[in-house]
Amino acid sequence: MSQGRKAAERLANKTVLITGASAGIGKATALEYLEASNGDMKLVLAARRLEKLEELKKTIDQEFPNAKVHVAQLDITQAEKIKPFIENLPKEFKDIDILVNNAGKALGTDRVGEIATQDIQDVFDTNVTALINITQAVLPIFQAKNSGDIVNLGSVAGRDAYPTGSIYCASKFAVGAFTDSLRKELINTKIRVILIAPGLVETEFSLVRYRGNEEQAKNVYKDTTPLMADDVADLIVYATSRKQNTVIADTLIFPTNQASPHHIFRG
C-alpha cells in the first residue's frame, strides 16, 4: 500500500480544528488535509476574518464536495469566548481529533526599552495565552477517548533568539516549553503532542510585523527562496498521519538556503 493511501486511511473521517485558518499556513493546512484525505475529513476553521473563511469554504465546497466544513469567527485573544466556542460547535464537529494551534503574530522590530506595552500584550495574548486556553478547552475531548493530536506552531525564533525580536522570540520559547511540558504530562495516554518550528516562510507574517509596509515585508524575502505556507502544511499533515505509536515530537523546518535566523543565503 502506498504511503499516500495509508495517510488517507489514517485521516479518514477525522475532525480538525485549525486556528488562524483564514490565510497563510492555516489556510494551506486546511487544503492540505483535504488533498491528503481525498476530502474525507471534517474541518473547523476559526479566525478573526470571517469573510476570508467564507471565501475559503466556497473554494473547498467546489473542489472537495464531500468534505464537511464549519467556519466561525473567533478572536482567540478573547479568553472568555474560547470554551463556549468549543462547547457550541455543531454536533457533527464536536468530536475533534486534531488541534492545530496555528494562529500567531509578531509586531514591530523595536529594541528592548522601546517596545510598546500593547505590542507585548498582543503578541503574548495571541502566541501563548490563547494557545494554552484553546488547548485546555480541547484536551478533555481527547482525554475522554484517549486519542488526539495537538500541533503547536513554534518557530526557529523559539530556539535561537535574535536582536529586535525579543518579544516574539520569548513568546515562541514559551510555546516550546509549554509543548514539551504537555507532552511529558500526557505520556501515559495516546494523545500526541507535536511542535513544528518553521524558519523563513513567505506569508502575511512579515506584512503584519511591519504594520502593512509592503516594501519592508518584501525585503525579508528578497534574493532568497523561502518556504511557502503549503510546505509547512505538508509537514503538519505528515506528522498527524503517522501510525498511532509514532509521534513527530519536535521538528525544525528550513528552506534549503537557511541555517538559522542569522544564516540565510541571498543571491
pLDDT tens string 156-181 = 999 999 999 999 999 999 999 999 99
Range 242-252 average pLDDT: 97
Is the pLDDT at 195 greater than 70? The verdict is yes
Element (H, E) at 132: helix 130-145
Report the alpha-carbon distance of residue 156 to residue 99 in Å, rounded. Answer: 21
| Amino acid 11: pLDDT | 96
Q: What is the pLDDT of residues 12-37, one digit of tens each?
A: 999 999 999 999 999 999 999 999 99
**And the C-alpha cell for 191?**
494523545
**How many CB atoms within 10 Å of residue 163?**
11
Place of cell 494551534: 101
- pLDDT over 90 at 119, yes or no: yes
- Please state which of the ranges 14-18, 27-31, 206-210, 223-227 shows the lowest mean pLDDT: 206-210
Residues ≥6 apart with Cβ < 8 Å to 192: 148, 149, 150, 240, 247
How far apart (Å, rounded) are the C-alpha atoms in residues 43 and 23?
15
DSSP 8-state assignment for residue 65:
T
The 8-class DSSP code of residue 91 comes to G
Q: Which residue has the higher pLDDT, 145 or 209?
A: 145
Nearest to 142 by CA among 180, 86, 103: 86
Query: Active site residue: 14, 27, 42, 168, which one?
Result: 168
Note whether 72 and 46 are within 8 A (CB): yes
Catalytic residue among 14, 42, 105, 172: 172
Q: What pLDDT was estimated at residue 1?
A: 53
DSSP for 26-55 reads HHHHHHHHHHHHTT--EEEEEES-HHHHHH
Q: Other CB atoms closer than 10 Å to residue 164's CB: what's the count?
A: 14
* pLDDT value of residue 212: 85
Which cell goes with 152? 503547536
Domains of the chain, start order: 3-264 (3.40.50.720)
Told to judge if 243 belongs to the known catalytic residues of this protein, a careful annotator would answer no
Q: What percent of the chain has pLDDT over 70?
A: 99
**Taking 70 as the threshold, does the pLDDT of residue 223 lie above it?**
yes
* Rounded-to-integer distance, Cα 138 and Cα 222, Å: 39
Q: Which three cell numbers stand for residue 212?
A: 502593512
**pLDDT recorded at residue 217:** 84
CA–CA distances in Å: residue 15 to residues 2, 99, 122, 205 = 23, 9, 29, 27
Each residue's pLDDT tens digit, 40-64: 999 999 999 999 999 999 999 999 9
**What mean pLDDT is predicted for residues 72-91?**
96
238 is catalytic: no
> Which has the higher per-residue pLDDT, 217 or 259?
259
Residue 156 DSSP class: G
